[in-house]
Amino acid sequence: MAIKFKCDCCGLCCRHINRVPYLKEFDTGNGVCKYLDLDTNRCRIYKNRPDICNVEVGYKKFFADKYTEEEYLRMNYEACAQLKREYKESLDDKS
């Protein structure tokens, strides 16, 4: 099975790259990727983004020997859901 991650382009993963050691060099110092366009939530280097930012490529290059494709995809969806829960909670705390 070839995995295909369905991203909704919310930008939250790009706003929390401090949680991904592979992306340390892209962190602006506050966890936000220096290539994230803050107006559009889109990656300014999407076609040339780091392999770890591409779920399919990242799996093959870094994690295929550790997880099945299904496990890796599930882990990515879980991480995405966790970021969204944390974001929602932070909004709730502000209101």
Chain segment 25-82, per-residue pLDDT in tens: 999 999 999 999 999 999 999 999 999 999 999 999 999 999 999 999 999 999 999 9
- Model pTM score: 0.83
Residue 51 located in a structural domain = yes
76: containing domain: 13-94
Confidence of residue 91 (pLDDT cuts 50, 70, 90): confident
Tell me, rounded to whole angstroms, the distance of Cα 12 from its chain centroid. 7
Domains: count for the chain: 1
Does the residue 62 lie in any domain? Answer: yes
Return the DSSP state at 67: S
Tell me, yes or no, whether 3 lies in a domain. no
Per the CB < 8 A criterion, the answer to whether 22 and 15 are in contact is no
- Asked if 27 and 17 touch (Cβ cutoff 8 Å), the reply is yes
Is 60 exceeded by the pLDDT of residue 22? yes
DSSP state of 54: S
pLDDT of residue 13: 94
In a domain, 8, yes or no: no
